[in-house]
Chains A and B, each alone.
Chain A
Amino acid sequence: MIRPSSVAWVILAIGLCAGLFLVKQQVSALEARLAQLNESILDDQQAIHVLRAEWSYLNQPARLDDLGRRLLHLEPRDGSGIASIETLRRHRGMKPTAPYSPKPNLDLHASPLVSPGYARPISATPDLDARRPGHDGWVRVLHTGLDGER
């Protein structure tokens, strides 16, 4: 005679076996996928390694220098194009050598720029003061900032 508890145990055992089998199948499938992914990661790393060398090769400073000169007409800059605020302060009485009229720009929040010549601060924003009579049309964004400091 078979007791109900025994039946339950047998069913449980069979269930566990089946579950275990399924999980094991899943695990081995995942492991295979993991190995595959790892392999492709290594392949990618290898490719990145080669690309890094190529990046460095293509970015040879002498090559960039040559490309910049030929295609962008850029020249290496020297110290004469760079000025500190202190230098600007002392030259603020100077008038610009060439008249400069900024083009109207709709972006009113654009930040002021300082052009290479140190006595030529320019602004990307149209200056309302420029239209006032007696004003030489020179935008004094940077100077205003310095005046505030005094």
Chain B
Amino acid sequence: MSGRPSRHLTIVKLEGERKQAVETGRNRLLVAGAVFASGFLMIAIRLVDVALVKSGDEPNLARERASEQIRTGRADIVDRNGVLLATTLATASLYANPKTVPDAKRAARRLVKVLPDLNQANVLAKLTSKRRFVWLKRHLTPEQQYEVNRLGVPGFDFQREERRVYPLGRLAAHILGHTDIDNRGLAGIERYFDEDLRARPTPLVLSVDVRIQNIVTHELRRARREYRAAAAAAIVLDARNGEIVAMASLPDFDPNRPADIIDAARFDRNALGVYEMGSTLKIFTTAMALETGAVKLTGGYDATRPIRVSPYWIRDHGAKRRWLSVPEIFIYSSNIGSARMAMAVGGKRQRAFMGRFGLLSRPSIQLAEVGAPLTPTKWRDINTMTIGFGHGIAVSPVQLVGGVAAVVNGGVFFPPSLIVKPKDAPIIGTRVVSTATSDKMRRLMRLAVQRGTGRRAAATGYMVGGKTGTAEKITARRYSRKALLSSFVGAFPIQAPRYVVFAMLDEPRGTRRTRGYATGGMVAAPIVSNIVSRIGPALGIPTVDEEARKLKRRMAVRVMTMRNGVRRIASE
């Protein structure tokens, strides 16, 4: 290995076989060298690729690990302000392998001691069965789990499970619905969005505001107790986009205990129940007559005598027995006048008009169980007349509120919704009446609260406008004077409506305070008044001076009347 090269070059020449062998050796060496070289070259290229080209910076292994989130089997549901309405919590469920429980009798006795709601005989039967797996109790509290662990019974074990929890209890129960023990949605939003809730990583945001929901439920509960009503319902809806801010139905239930729900409580009066609403539908009749030009605000109809449409009579309660102008028909809630108004428009146009407000088809609200309206199969004159004052057609409160919102908000219909629309998405509505008609209707609804049947709905500073409704319910195939459905639907502030408020009592009974009356104006209008005076400040609606001259002028209506057989202006 050392020393200089020799001066004497010795040239060795190989011939024949030997030369061949050396050549072969050299070739082999060359091939092997080339293979190894290309191999090392590939490794080198790959190294450069991995180390410098592909991920030049630090590997983000740490970040990936840290981004692990707890995932539950079902997404949370929150209200519009992010208050938790429904969530999924991990719980432990107790099971046993009867083969490995040494002393079943003793185990059963000791288990029942710490879990008193279990039946000892039942547990014993399970523990002596031939199976290898029996559920003893699902969804234990941490305390119960600790107690069972302390027993130290071999063969008992826990399965980690998830349980749907509704922290607000009964509040908004009909909207949320509930799930079964395996967290499958059975009703309400839980059912409608069942698939979505299983898949989505983020909470589902509802349009409901729990503060408003609480006020509405509280006022409704109070009124239901006072008037001993069989059931009650109320809705607050944003008039500008159809979002439902609060929706309560009584009796209600606790979604945390789905097994205890009775059918009367499960029934959602707002979306599933359809009712002959009565006079609140006169809002649509009047809007229709004004929109089609069948009558002007200064015009009117004769309401001297009841109309006979065999075998029925259409009468007025507290009849004036004279010609009534349109504002008078509206504020005194005249059935005769409204029936004539509807006839002046005609059945065909009435049907088309009602359809535009979504009153003739099942509403598209995001709930599992939604009631379809009951409409006449054949739209005869008698139907036109009765529908004119709200009978012969049954709609759900959600439909009514959606329609009224369109009447007062300038004439644009938005389907009632329980989901907040994304901020950047355009709010799409359909124009159903002109802004001029909407303006006239707002004035009439204000007048009904100022001077008509809806006086008790007034809330100082908030300019309530609306319409009362008192319908006789059908009991034993005929209308009953005793069983009433009393309601009020209004909007505030009526000069530029922000919210539509609806309240309804099913079979209320009059009290001494209402002098025995249980009509919409007596029992339902005060609920709306209470709700508005409490949610107004919560929603940040500025109060106005209701007596201000400017405002009065803006909401003024020329009311014609008839005195001594002469039509004259009663007030402006």
Q: In the assembly, what is the distance between CA of A82 and CA of B543, in Å?
A: 7
In the complex, which of the residues B69, B215, B217, B533 contacts A45, with contact meaning CB atoms closer than 8 Å? B69
The answer on a CB contact under 8 Å between B167 and A53 is yes
The answer on a CB contact under 8 Å between A60 and B90 is no
CB of B211 within 8 Å of the partner chain: yes
Residues of chain A in range 62-110 having any CB-CB distance to chain B below 8 Å: 62, 65, 76-84, 86-87, 90
In the complex, which of the residues A42, A53, A62, A78 contacts B68, with contact meaning CB atoms closer than 8 Å? A42
The answer on a CB contact under 8 Å between A80 and B460 is yes
CB of A18 within 8 Å of the partner chain: no
CB of A56 within 8 Å of the partner chain: yes
Q: In the assembly, what is the distance between CA of A38 and CA of B66, in Å?
A: 6
Q: In the assembly, what is the distance between CA of A97 and CA of B456, in Å?
A: 29
Q: In the assembly, what is the distance between CA of A84 and CA of B537, in Å?
A: 12
Q: In the assembly, what is the distance between CA of A78 and CA of B72, in Å?
A: 42
The answer on a CB contact under 8 Å between A79 and B537 is yes
B165 contacts across to A, CB distance below 8 A: 53
The answer on a CB contact under 8 Å between A61 and B171 is yes
B533 contacts across to A, CB distance below 8 A: 78-79
| CB of B241, distance to nearest CB on chain A (Å) | 24
CB of A34 within 8 Å of the partner chain: yes
In chain B, what residue has the closest Cβ to A61? B214
B62 contacts across to A, CB distance below 8 A: 34
CB of B83 within 8 Å of the partner chain: yes
Residues of chain A in range 20-67 having any CB-CB distance to chain B below 8 Å: 34-35, 38, 41-42, 45-46, 49-50, 52-57, 59-62, 65
CB of B461 within 8 Å of the partner chain: yes
Q: In the assembly, what is the distance between CA of A133 and CA of B167, in Å?
A: 61
B79-91 near A? 1/0 per residue, CB < 8 Å: 0000111010110
The answer on a CB contact under 8 Å between B536 and A78 is yes
The answer on a CB contact under 8 Å between B84 and A53 is yes
Q: In the assembly, what is the distance between CA of A50 and CA of B76, in Å?
A: 12
| CB of A40, distance to nearest CB on chain B (Å) | 12
Indicate the size class of the contact surface on chain B.
Answer: 35 or more
Looking at chain A's contact residues, the main secondary structure is: helix
CB of B232 within 8 Å of the partner chain: no
Q: In the assembly, what is the distance between CA of A60 and CA of B170, in Å?
A: 10
The answer on a CB contact under 8 Å between B537 and A78 is yes
| CB of A31, distance to nearest CB on chain B (Å) | 9
| CB of A116, distance to nearest CB on chain B (Å) | 11
CB of B168 within 8 Å of the partner chain: yes
- A45-B70, A46-B90, A56-B167 known; A77-B537 Cβ under 8 A: yes
In chain B, what residue has the closest Cβ to A30? B62
A77 contacts across to B, CB distance below 8 A: 534, 537
B512-548 near A? 1/0 per residue, CB < 8 Å: 0000000000000000000001101100001111001
B84 contacts across to A, CB distance below 8 A: 52-53, 55-56
- A79-B459, A82-B543 known; A61-B70 Cβ under 8 A: no
The answer on a CB contact under 8 Å between A53 and B87 is yes
CB of B293 within 8 Å of the partner chain: no
Q: In the assembly, what is the distance between CA of A61 and CA of B544, in Å?
A: 28
A54 contacts across to B, CB distance below 8 A: 167
The answer on a CB contact under 8 Å between A50 and B89 is yes
The answer on a CB contact under 8 Å between A87 and B68 is no
In chain B, what residue has the closest Cβ to A80? B460
The answer on a CB contact under 8 Å between A57 and B542 is no
Q: In the assembly, what is the distance between CA of A87 and CA of B460, in Å?
A: 13
In chain A, what residue has the closest Cβ to B66? A38
In the complex, which of the residues B65, B72, B168, B542 contacts A60, with contact meaning CB atoms closer than 8 Å? B168
CB of B169 within 8 Å of the partner chain: yes
- A52-B84, A65-B214 known; A84-B543 Cβ under 8 A: yes
- A34-B62, A38-B65, A61-B211 known; A52-B543 Cβ under 8 A: no
What 17 new A-B contacts, CB under 8 Å, besides A61-B210, A62-B214? A34-B65, A49-B87, A52-B87, A53-B84, A53-B89, A56-B167, A57-B167, A62-B218, A77-B537, A78-B534, A79-B460, A79-B533, A79-B536, A80-B461, A81-B537, A83-B543, A87-B544
* 26 A-B pairs whose Cβ atoms sit less than 8 Å apart in the complex: A35-B65, A41-B66, A41-B68, A46-B70, A49-B72, A49-B87, A54-B167, A56-B168, A57-B168, A60-B169, A60-B171, A61-B213, A61-B215, A62-B171, A76-B215, A77-B534, A77-B537, A78-B459, A79-B462, A80-B543, A81-B537, A82-B537, A82-B543, A83-B543, A86-B545, A87-B544
Nearest 7 pairs of A and B residues by beta carbon: A61-B214, A79-B461, A78-B533, A56-B167, A57-B167, A56-B84, A79-B543
